[in-house]
């Protein structure tokens, strides 16, 4: 039986992040046959298939998810060791422009920046808040070096020219007032949300996080449309409506608001990724490492 290898874990992680062998090969600079061989060797070592082959791409099996959960911290430690062995500790300095969507700025990004600052205090990070489409435009225009974006499986964002690190596999929840009749329920059915009213965002771009829960009603009742994330949650806390919230923001929910899961026949998943242009600076790599570490901690608390 083959052994688990660092290279194999990195290849498996990239395949899971990109959803296909060919996309992972492009991201790693390998051939597709190289990726297939590494995955086959890891499946031999695991004694079980790691990916389910679909009509378009692949997705991790149960064994694949177990391996990915352990591979992330291992690869983070190896990357950290390489940074230190390369003597980068003293040379990581300068300015780094980071963009992120609003709910990522509630917990993930600040915690990652604190972790980065504790290790590399000479790196100065500037922040830009905005929707995922806006951050991708800024990144391609050279106004950002790194963007933290939300990945909607149905959005089909063109990302082939960029380098992607999957940080977190999340889901969407519904925020309700603490006094709402659904507030004490762990899970609700979609039909129970049809009367609303809803608090939505006005940033545009067709982002599901800014609207209502899909499929709740043909003509949903929208009570308020506001731009700021805290304002949305404040309106919910005041009992003025419901709002869609990503699980990444669960730790930032104010008092007066409760989160409930939705029993939907087509669960809505929302992943979080760090995206850069193909060539990365050591500072960007260090920040991505910090983002991965904090994302792993958030994943543990939101299961």
User: What are the Cα distances from residue 34, in Å, to 31, 41, 55, 134, 234?
Assistant: 5, 11, 21, 35, 51
Cβ–Cβ under 8 Å, residues 208 and 153: no
Give tens-digit pLDDT for 70-127. 888 888 788 777 666 655 554 566 789 999 988 898 889 999 999 999 988 889 999 9
- Tell me, what DSSP letter sits at residue 242? B
Instruction: Give the dihedral of Cα atoms 61, 67, 72, 78; nearest 10 deg.
Output: -140
Give tens-digit pLDDT for 208-232. 445 787 766 666 788 888 877 788 8
Cβ–Cβ under 8 Å, residues 177 and 183: yes
Alpha helices, H only, the chain: 6-18, 21-28, 32-46, 62-85, 108-119, 132-140, 229-237, 282-301
Nearest to 261 by CA among 251, 272, 250, 252: 250
Kindly tell me the sign of the dihedral angle through the C-alpha atoms of 217, 219, 221, 227.
positive
Which CATH number describes the domain made up of 170-263?
A: 3.40.190.10
pTM of the full predicted structure?
0.65
Omega before residue 197 within 30° of 0, cis? yes
Give tens-digit pLDDT for 253-284. 889 999 998 887 766 677 899 999 998 888 99
Domain ranges of the chain: 1-86, 170-263
Burial letters 271-284, b for 16+ CB under 10 A, else e: bbbbbbeeebebbb
Q: What angle do CA 34, 39, 43 make, to 5 degrees?
A: 150
pLDDT at residue 302 is higher than 70: no
Per CATH, is 1-86 categorized as 1.10.10.10? yes
| 182: number of Cβ within 10 Å | 15
pLDDT band at 51 (very low <50, low <70, confident <90, very high): very high
Cβ–Cβ under 8 Å, residues 161 and 102: no
């Amino acid at each position: 039986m083959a052994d688990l290898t660092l290279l194999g874990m990195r290849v498996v992680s990239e395949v899971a992040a990109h959803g296909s062998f060919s996309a992972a090969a492009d991201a790693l600079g390998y051939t597709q046959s190289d990726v297939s061989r590494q995955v086959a060797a890891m499946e031999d070592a695991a004694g079980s298939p790691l990916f389910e082959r679909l009509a378009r791409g692949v997705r991790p099996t149960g064994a694949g998810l177990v391996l990915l959960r352990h591979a992330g911290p291992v690869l983070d430690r190896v990357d950290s060791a390489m940074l230190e062995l390369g003597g980068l500790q003293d040379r990581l300095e300068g300015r780094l422009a980071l963009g992120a969507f609003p709910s990522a700025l509630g917990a993930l990004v600040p915690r990652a920046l604190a972790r980065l600052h504790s290790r590399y205090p000479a790196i100065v990070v500037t922040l830009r808040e905005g929707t995922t489409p806006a951050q991708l435009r800024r990144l391609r225009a050279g106004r950002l070096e790194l963007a933290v974006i939300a990945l909607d499986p149905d959005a089909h964002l063109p990302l082939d020219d960029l380098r992607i690190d999957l940080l977190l596999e999340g889901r969407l929840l519904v925020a309700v007032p603490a006094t709402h009749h659904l507030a004490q329920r762990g899970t609700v059915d979609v039909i129970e949300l049809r009367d609303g009213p809803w608090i939505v965002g006005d940033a545009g771009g067709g982002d599901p996080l800014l609207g209502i829960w899909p499929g709740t009603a043909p003509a949903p009742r929208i009570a308020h449309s506001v731009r700021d994330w805290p304002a949305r949650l404040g309106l919910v806390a005041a009992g003025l409506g419901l709002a869609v919230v990503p699980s990444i923001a669960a730790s930032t929910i104010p008092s007066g608001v409760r989160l409930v899961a939705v029993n939907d026949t087509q669960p809505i998943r929302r992943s979080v990724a760090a995206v850069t242009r193909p060539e990365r600076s050591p500072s960007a790599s260090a920040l991505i490492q910090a983002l991965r570490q904090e994302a792993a901690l958030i994943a543990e608390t939101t299961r």
